[in-house]
Amino acid sequence: MQLLASLNAGKPDEARRLLDAVKPAVPGAEPLSPHLNLALGTWYNANNEPAAGEQRVQSWLRARRPPVQAYLWRASYLWNRKEYGEVQATLESGTKRIGSAATFLPYLVSASRAMGKTARAEAYTVRCRDEDRKGANAVLTLITFRGGVAPSGIYPECVRRLGHEPPDDSLGTKIVKAPLRAGKSLTKTVKGLFSHP
Higher pLDDT, 133 or 176: 133
51-86 core/surface letters (b: 16 or more CB in 10 A; e: else): eebbbbbebbbeeeebbbbbbbbbbbbbbeeeebeb
Share of the chain above pLDDT 90, in %: 36
Residues 6+ apart with CB under 8 A from 97: 65, 66, 71
DSSP-assigned beta bridge partners for residue 146: 149
Dist. CA 130–CA 153, nearest whole Å: 11
Dist. CA 86–CA 154, nearest whole Å: 22
CB of 145 closer than 8 Å to CB of 107? no
Average pLDDT value for residue range 93-106: 93
pTM for the structure as a whole: 0.69
Residues 6+ apart with CB under 8 A from 98: 68, 71, 104
Higher pLDDT, 8 or 182: 8
